């Protein structure tokens, strides 16, 4: 062997340990080669609980889990992807540390050992876990409990829909069923509530559970006096009387049954406060379709907790606004409901244990048809899909945002929007079926059009705050005024805007000058009213005020 070859061999021998170390470190980035190389393992379950295990710390669970989560990748089979049912689902996060390197895995366990997978956090590869390995983990119930939906302790709802949701507080015992039919006890200590919240009670002592128990008993005290101690079915005998504040303990039991995968018992404690029950009132008993009605209420501290339903549906959920000691909401009835038949809508409102029904009669108003003299060239430019998309993107968010936390409007709405006698030059009324003569394009008219000379002053219908002022291809120059409670007025096809966003206006203030901009014939402006994103008819409020409910 010549000296050059010998020298090369010696140089290579010097670097072999380095190459080995580099290769070992590289492989450790995607997982340790030997379970003895694992230094630390971290396990985080789907409830957010986290455990740390160190090799050789004398903890039997540490050795067992480190061995299991080393064996799982060794035994798993690579697959193309997670099952669709598990995608975007919750997972266990397992982090393995070895020789300074850290590797994360996402483990998707299910109550069935045959449906378990993991994803390598570095490579993104997906693997199906061997059923025997999944069984080993699922039987380690201290750590696998969050895999089973029935391990969750039932919650208590106080005060009906929109009320307060409570977790067990003082004590609980809970058992759930494993894949092999055996029962396991959950460690309830981390699920018990540490506080005793204040729950408002109105219109009756209304409590319910996320899972109906077989037996419920109550202990209710006020100071040193026990007001009630007995089963829930005797609750009607509760002598609250003049008592305003009390403490309640609710004890519930779920019996062990053959057709049930859980059983146990739990206690819930809260401080109760008796308040006047909520009451709701309708502003008027009858309106036309295309108009709106005001609902008022009292004894409501949090209007966001009010629930509303309509039969038949009005396809709209009103927002309630609090003003002083009352709450109010505007409820629009769409003009599309016209069919020549009067209807009766039953509204159901609920708030913290109180449910109230009211009826609204809606008279079917028939809308006529009109033609619109716009050239095909103007339509193609201002009413294209792109132009309408631009307008929708800019204006639709306005219908969902509220700048005012109170109502600014009062009295009647301005009829003479462009000066005395403007109602005489209306060219297209609210709700009409419109047809463009040049093209045959059809749509429903959502406001009122006036025939008016360019440059004529256009006035605000009522007091409010300007929330939009600018130019869009379809609307031309446009101003939008927020009047509060979700009610907005719209002024389109102006030649210029006279106000800026954020300005406040009074009824009759000039918001712009009439023009010929956007999708409109010459000498035309468009005005309208909306409640939320629903167009409503302004005529009803030209000569009479919005009817407010009478609070009894």
Whether 116 and 91 have beta carbons less than 8 Å apart is answered as: no
pLDDT at 313: 94
Q: How far apart are CA 508 and CA 319, in angstroms?
A: 28
SS3 477: strand
Strand partners, 357: 348
Q: Which whole number is the average pLDDT over 111-119?
A: 97
| 238 pLDDT tier (thresholds 50, 70, 90) | low
Q: Residue 406 carries which DSSP code? A: S
| 499 pLDDT tier (thresholds 50, 70, 90) | very high
| 17 pLDDT tier (thresholds 50, 70, 90) | very low
Return the higher-pLDDT residue of 169 and 329.
329
Using N-to-C axis directions, what is the helix angle for 60-75 and 131-138, rounded to 10°?
Answer: 160
Return the higher-pLDDT residue of 245 and 34.
245
Return the higher-pLDDT residue of 220 and 34.
220
pLDDT at 277: 87
Q: Is the pLDDT of residue 153 over 90?
A: yes
Long-range Cβ pairs for the range 175-178 (8 Å, 24+): 175/256, 175/262, 175/263, 175/264, 176/145, 176/148, 176/150, 176/151, 176/261, 176/262, 177/148, 177/150, 177/261, 177/262, 178/111, 178/138, 178/139, 178/141, 178/148
Q: Is the pLDDT of residue 15 over 70?
A: no
For the chain, domains (ranges, CATH) are 31-147 (2.60.40.4250), 150-274 (no CATH), 279-363 (2.60.40.10), 369-541 (2.70.70.10)
SS3 521: coil
H helix intervals, 360-500? 376-382, 385-400
| 160 pLDDT tier (thresholds 50, 70, 90) | confident
pLDDT at 430: 93
Burial of 438 (0-12, 13-18, 19+ CB in 10 A): middle
Q: Is the pLDDT of residue 151 over 80?
A: yes
Kindly report the number of other CB atoms within 10 A of residue 190's CB atom.
9
The position carrying tokens 């302790």 is 153
14 — phi, psi (to 5°)?
Answer: -65, -35
Which residues neighbour 428 within 8 Å (Cβ) at sequence distance 6 or greater?
370, 372, 434, 445, 448, 449
Reported as a single tens digit per residue, the pLDDT across 431-473 is: 999 999 999 999 999 999 999 999 999 999 999 999 999 999 9
Tokens matching residue 308:
């509303």
Q: Is the pLDDT of residue 420 over 80?
A: no
| 236 pLDDT tier (thresholds 50, 70, 90) | low
Q: Which whole number is the average pLDDT over 398-418?
A: 88
| 123 pLDDT tier (thresholds 50, 70, 90) | very high
Displacement of CA 118 from its chain's centroid (Å): 31
Does residue 313 have a cis peptide bond before it, meaning omega lies within 30 degrees of 0?
no
Q: How far apart are CA 70 and CA 113, in angstroms?
A: 18
Q: Is the pLDDT of residue 249 over 80?
A: yes
Question: What sign has the CA pseudo-torsion 283, 287, 293, 297?
Answer: positive
> What percentage of the chain exceeds 90 in pLDDT?
68
Whether 369 and 431 have beta carbons less than 8 Å apart is answered as: no
Strand partners, 253: 215, 265
Q: Is the pLDDT of residue 19 over 50?
A: no
Three-state SS string over 236-287 comes to HHCCCCCCCEEEEEEEEEECCCCCCCEEEEEEEEEEEEECCCCEEEECCCEE
Q: How far apart are CA 360 and CA 288, in angstroms?
A: 10
Q: Is the pLDDT of residue 359 over 70?
A: yes
Tokens matching residue 190:
């981390």
Q: Is the pLDDT of residue 242 over 60?
A: yes
Burial of 251 (0-12, 13-18, 19+ CB in 10 A): buried
Q: How far apart are CA 69 and CA 118, in angstroms?
A: 11
Q: Is the pLDDT of residue 394 over 90?
A: yes
| 21 pLDDT tier (thresholds 50, 70, 90) | very low
Q: In this predicted structure, which of 134-148, 211-225, 237-251, 485-499 has the lowest mean pLDDT?
A: 237-251
Q: How far apart are CA 333 and CA 312, in angstroms?
A: 12
Return the higher-pLDDT residue of 31 and 407.
407
H helix intervals, 383-483? 385-400
| 22 pLDDT tier (thresholds 50, 70, 90) | very low
Q: Which whole number is the average pLDDT over 392-416?
A: 90
282 — phi, psi (to 5°)?
Answer: -95, 135
Most confident segment among 21-35, 115-129, 218-232, 363-377:
115-129
| 32 pLDDT tier (thresholds 50, 70, 90) | low
Reported as a single tens digit per residue, the pLDDT across 258-276 is: 999 999 999 999 998 888 8
Kindly report the number of other CB atoms within 10 A of residue 114's CB atom.
12
Q: Is the pLDDT of residue 101 over 90?
A: no
SS3 32: coil
Most confident segment among 90-104, 340-354, 379-393:
379-393
Return the higher-pLDDT residue of 4 and 528.
528
pLDDT at 241: 63
Helices (H) and strands (E) in the chain, counts: 6, 38
Reported as a single tens digit per residue, the pLDDT across 161-207 is: 778 899 998 789 999 999 999 999 998 888 888 888 898 887 667 88
Whether 118 and 129 have beta carbons less than 8 Å apart is answered as: yes
Strand partners, 530: 488, 535
Kindly report the number of other CB atoms within 10 A of residue 226's CB atom.
10
pTM, entire model: 0.67
pLDDT at 33: 61
């Amino acid at each position: 062997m010549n000296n050059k070859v010998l020298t090369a061999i010696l140089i290579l021998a010097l670097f072999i340990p380095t190459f080995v170390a580099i290769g070992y470190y590289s492989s450790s980035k995607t997982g340790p080669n030997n379970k003895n190389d694992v230094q630390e393992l971290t396990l985080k379950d789907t409830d957010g609980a986290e455990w740390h295990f160190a090799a050789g710390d004398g903890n039997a669970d540490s050795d067992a889990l480190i061995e299991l989560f080393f064996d799982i990748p060794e035994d798993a089979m690579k697959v193309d992807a997670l099952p669709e049912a598990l995608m975007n689902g919750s997972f266990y996060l397992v982090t393995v540390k070895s020789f300074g390197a850290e590797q994360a895995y996402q483990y998707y366990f299910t109550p069935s050992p045959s449906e378990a997978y993991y994803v390598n956090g570095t490579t993104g590869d997906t693997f199906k876990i061997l059923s025997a390995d999944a069984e080993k983990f699922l039987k380690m119930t201290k750590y696998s409990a969050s895999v089973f939906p029935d391990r969750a302790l039932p919650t208590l709802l106080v005060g009906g829909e929109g009320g307060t949701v409570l977790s067990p507080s003082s004590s609980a015992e809970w058992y759930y069923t494993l894949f092999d039919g055996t029962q396991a006890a959950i460690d309830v200590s981390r699920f018990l509530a540490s506080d005793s919240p204040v729950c408002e009670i109105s219109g009756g002592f209304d409590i319910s559970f996320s899972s109906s128990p077989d037996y419920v008993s109550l202990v209710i005290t006020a100071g040193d006096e026990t007001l009630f101690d007995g089963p829930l079915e005797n609750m009607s005998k509760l002598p609250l009387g003049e008592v305003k504040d009390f403490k309640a303990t609710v004890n519930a039991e779920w019996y062990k049954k053959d057709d049930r995968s859980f059983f146990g018992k739990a206690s819930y404690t809260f401080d109760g406060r008796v308040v006047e029950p909520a009451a709701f009132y309708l502003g008027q008993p009858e309106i036309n379709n295309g108009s709106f009605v005001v609902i008022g209420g009292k004894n409501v501290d949090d209007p966001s907790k009010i629930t509303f339903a309509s039969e038949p549906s009005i396809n709209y959920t009103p927002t309630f606004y609090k003003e002083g000691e009352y709450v109010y909401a505007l409820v629009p009835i769409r003009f599309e409901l016209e069919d020549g038949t009067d209807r009766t809508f039953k509204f159901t409102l609920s708030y913290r244990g109180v449910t109230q029904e009211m009826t609204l009669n809606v008279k079917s108003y028939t809308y006529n048809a009109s033609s619109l003299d716009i050239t095909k060239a103007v339509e193609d430019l201002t009413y294209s899909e792109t132009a309408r998309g631009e307008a929708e993107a800019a204006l639709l968010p306005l219908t969902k945002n509220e700048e005012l936390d109170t109502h600014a409007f009062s009295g009647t709405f301005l009829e003479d929007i462009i000066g005395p006698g403007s109602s005489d030059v209306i060219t297209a009324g609210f709700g009409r079926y419109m047809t463009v003569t040049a093209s045959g394009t059809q749509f429903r008219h959502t406001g009122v059009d006036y025939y008016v000379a360019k440059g004529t002053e256009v006035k605000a219908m009522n007091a409010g705050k300007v929330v939009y002022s600018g130019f869009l291809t379809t609307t031309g120059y446009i101003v939008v005024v927020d009047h509060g409670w979700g009610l907005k007025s719209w002024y389109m096809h102006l030649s210029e805007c006279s106000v800026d966003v954020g300005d406040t206006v009074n009824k009759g203030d000039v918001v712009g000058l009439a023009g010929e901009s956007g999708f409109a014939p010459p000498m035309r402006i468009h005005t309208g009213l909306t409640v939320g994103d629903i167009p409503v008819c302004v005529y009803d409020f030209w000569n009479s005020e919005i009817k407010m409910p009478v609070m009894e």
